Structure 1
Amino acid sequence: MTTSVFTALVALVGVALGGWLSLRNQDRMWKREHLRQWRDIRLSACNEFLAANRRYVAYALDPEASVTAVPHPREPGRLMPFFNEAGRPYKEALEAGFTAMRLVAERPQTVRAGVSFVNCAREVAAARATLSEADIPSHAFERLWSAEQDFINAVRTELGLAAIPRQP
């Protein structure tokens, strides 16, 4: 009788241990899948934001673009660019991409790099309001491409990838 009770207890312990290990394994797999899904969501949102920023700048540099600029109400010395009806979709796509990126970014450094990137794009657009596309100062573009590189590296860090070294 003792042997059969002992055998039954060993079997129950084995079933319980197997169930616990199976549950633990499923929980790990779920967590990995959850992290992968969020990584894909972050990558997609940041990619859309980058593309929208590029289209925004490309529109601002178009010789046919109509851009106006007014002083920023809270930041003296800074101009806010405005586009006509043809440029409104570019501005809206940039704002939507920027908001989506901020919603899914995990690190504050990524959001700060995104803010800098948007501000540099707006600076180029504001300069375009008073200058032709060929007369925009090169330092505005240098800041824009530097901000883009900083944003890309912040996203890469957030995704667990190594930063891309700056080109001289």
Structure 2
Amino acid sequence: MNVVSNAITAVVTLFAVLLGGWLSTRNQDRLWRREHARQWRDIRLAVYRDFLTAYREYVAFTRDPAANISAVPHPTRIGTMMPFFDATGRSYAERMEATKTSALLVTERPAILNTVEQLVRCARHIAAARATHGVGDMPAEKFQELWAAERNFLDAARRELGLYPMPQDAAGLG
């Protein structure tokens, strides 16, 4: 009976060690996944912040009375104008394009892809309109489209980051 008792004790002990090891490994994996998700959330937040800053600087430059912007017809999109900046404005366009690419690179959701593209397209339309209009007579509908595209991007980014939706009357847009 002593041998059977020792065998049972050894089996139970071995089972407990295996169960403890498995639970420990599972817990470590869960913690790693949580930390990994947090790191990617922080990366996305920083990239989206940089994109919004660059896009806003681009739009601010287009509204500067001293800005020298020209526009030519887009080679493949009929009825769409492509804006071109002088040496001063080129850095704004390059920064917006670079941060746009970064945003497209880090996103996990197709909605972000669409809203980033739409926001950049609207900003380009503002710049192209500025090429033929003075600062005071810019088409208001272009800015309404821009603010709607910004709102769509913010909503999609907040969903991806796990944040609550913005209230409908949120100030600061426009």
TM range (shorter): over 0.9
Aligned residue identity for 2:39: Q
Shift of 1:137: 0.9
Shift of 1:72: 0.4
Cα distance in 2 for residues equivalent to 1:105 and 1:111: 7
Cα distance in 1 for residues equivalent to 2:168 and 2:61: 26
Aligned residue identity for 1:24: R
Shift of 1:107: 1.0
Aligned residue identity for 2:133: L
Cα distance in 2 for residues equivalent to 1:89 and 1:52: 10
1:89 to 88, 91, 101: 91
Unaligned stretches of 5+ residues in structure 2:
none
Cα distance in 2 for residues equivalent to 1:12 and 1:106: 43
2:10 equivalent to 1:22: no
- 1:119 maps to what in 2? 121
1:6 to 8, 27, 37: 8
Secondary structure (helix, strand or coil) at the match of 2:124 reads helix
- 1:165 maps to what in 2? 167
Could you tell me the percent identity over the aligned residues?
51
Q: Deviations over 1:4-39 (max 9, x none)?
A: 121111111111110000000000001111111111
Aligned residue identity for 2:156: A
TM-score, with length taken from structure 2 = 0.93
Matches within 5 A, 1:1-168: 1-167=3-169
Shift of 1:153: 0.2
Secondary structure (helix, strand or coil) at the match of 1:118 reads helix
Shift of 1:167: 3.1
TM-score, with length taken from structure 1 = 0.96
| CA RMSD in angstroms, aligned pairs only | 1.2
Range with bigger deviation, 149-158 or 38-47: 38-47
Secondary structure (helix, strand or coil) at the match of 2:71 reads strand
Cα distance in 2 for residues equivalent to 1:129 and 1:116: 20
Shift of 1:43: 1.1
Cα distance in 1 for residues equivalent to 2:122 and 2:144: 9
> How many residues of Structure 1 are paired with residues of Structure 2 in the alignment?
168
